[in-house]
Amino acid sequence: MSLRGFLSEMEKRGEVVHVAESVSPRFEVSKLAMEFDWGPILFFENVEGRRVAVNVCGSRDRICLALKTSRRDLHRRLISSMHSLKPPEVVKSAPSQEEIEKPDLGGIPILTHFEKDGGPYITSGVIYARSPKLGVENVSIHRLQVLDDSTLAIRLVPRHLYKLWTTHKMEKKDLEVSISVGVHPAVHLAAASSPPFGVNEFHIANSLLAGGLKLVKCLKVDAYAPAEAELIIEGVISWEKEALEGPLVDILGTYDVQRMQPIVEVKAITHRKNYIYQAIVPSSVEHRLLMGLPREALIWEAVSKVVPEVYGVRLTVAGGGWLHAVISIRKQREGDGKNALLAALAAHPSLKHAVVVDEDIDVHDSEAVEWAIATRFQADRDLIVVKNVRGSTLDPSSDQERVLTSKVGVDATKPIDKPKEKFELAKIPSTGRVEKLIESLRRHIRP
């Protein structure tokens, strides 16, 4: 149930490519990772003397392998884990605490990703915090900018961790946290999910791992972390100290703005022997999948409540894995498509454009989706526009100060009052002899 265990499985499947040459954490790792986006896991053997893995969750199929599920059942699996919580076992000793170091971030191969980034950033850190006053534990992923060898700036979006921090801030108390780097994909997916406030995402991860997740208590702070994490940074989020954070490229591939953000004071660093530093390159396919998949699951659950069956949900790559969705449904009556659109827009507040198609359209085939819009959609009848609603702070075209946007829903399902034959693609019958000839030609004709 560790990153190492998953990497070992992927090695056997030929999903890992090793890079033996010395590579710099400043631009070079991220450049190579983006050149092979959608490709294999890249395992760098020598990044300032350390090992670095990127693109671990860079394909939907690898994530399915990590969760031991299929593409068809992926969303159902994620939702069921949120409703069937399993508290992990807490152990007294752990591989993640095999070695203890002084608070020196300079010894970690933290990447600088893009030309105008504010500095090196930890982008894969799974952050645990708890509030004894509220009786709440939270696990989430937040970007962390290195300010110096013992200080980070943390981007706190106004969600659950922000609420814990503000509770402590009102009492003039620092918030103790653990930052875990190098974890199983199930832990990342759980940390990126959005369950109700008060749900401990480690319980979701343990459900995804069939009870196999183990936690360990930190040495210097009141926090817990995965026992098999590669590296754990223990620290406190200051209630009063802030620093200018950013810029950093976010999921859309554009630079997010600079803001004053709280700082994290590092108290201790523990890690496994010869640890593997795991990085997620901002705006990569891996970034989009880890952020988007839990939202796809929420859309799937919401739409499933208003239509007979949901066949597929995809947050598109060109939409940053965040702003654009395609949903495939089985339509029984007129209005199902629009109900599905409204449910999707409500389930994922950052969603900007949504397209609903019939079950014969593959949501992963962008050309098929566009064809459905071309042949099944009429703007005066099938278009929904919602103005001045909450959107995403990442959308540069929106009102970013008030976080307001306009949203569009496209109902590209077949109208029920017309014969279905009008909307079917024409087919050419196949014979065995022709199929053999096709295979022969494919071997000689380059795509």
Q: What value, to the nearest 5°, has the Cα angle with vertex 427 and ends 422 and 430?
A: 160
Dist CA 292 CA 294 (whole Å): 6
Q: Which residue has the tokens 């077949």?
A: 414
What is the three-class DSSP state of 434? Answer: helix
Question: Burial, 173: exposed, middle or buried (Cβ in 10 Å; 0-12, 13-18, 19+)?
Answer: middle
Q: What value, to the nearest 5°, has the Cα angle with vertex 112 and ends 111 and 116?
A: 165
Dist CA 277 CA 256 (whole Å): 25
Q: What value, to the nearest 5°, has the Cα angle with vertex 204 and ends 199 and 205?
A: 135
Strand 324-330 versus strand 353-358 pairing type:
parallel
Query: φ, ψ for residue 41 (rounded to 5)?
Result: -70, 130
In the structure encoding, which two tokens stand for residue 139, read together?
A: 């696990």
- The amino acid sitting at 69 is T
The string of DSSP letters for 10-63 reads HHHTT-EEEE-S---TBTHHHHHHHHTTTSPEEEEEEETTEEEEE-TT-SHHHH
The yes-or-no answer on residue 222 being catalytic is no
Query: φ, ψ for residue 21 (rounded to 5)?
Result: -65, 150
Dist CA 167 CA 187 (whole Å): 26
What is the three-class DSSP state of 209? Answer: coil
In the structure encoding, which two tokens stand for residue 241, read together?
A: 């100290």
Dist CA 191 CA 180 (whole Å): 11
Selecting among 73, 104, 174, 250, the annotated active-site residue is 250
Please give the distance of CA 90 from its chain centroid, rounded to a whole number: 26
Through-space distance between the first and last CA atoms of the chain, rounded to whole angstroms: 40
Peptide bond into 429 cis (omega under 30): no
Dist CA 107 CA 101 (whole Å): 10
- Alpha-carbon Rg for the chain, nearest whole angstrom, is 23
Query: φ, ψ for residue 78 (rounded to 5)?
Result: -65, -45
Instruction: List, by residue number, the catalytic residues.
Output: 250
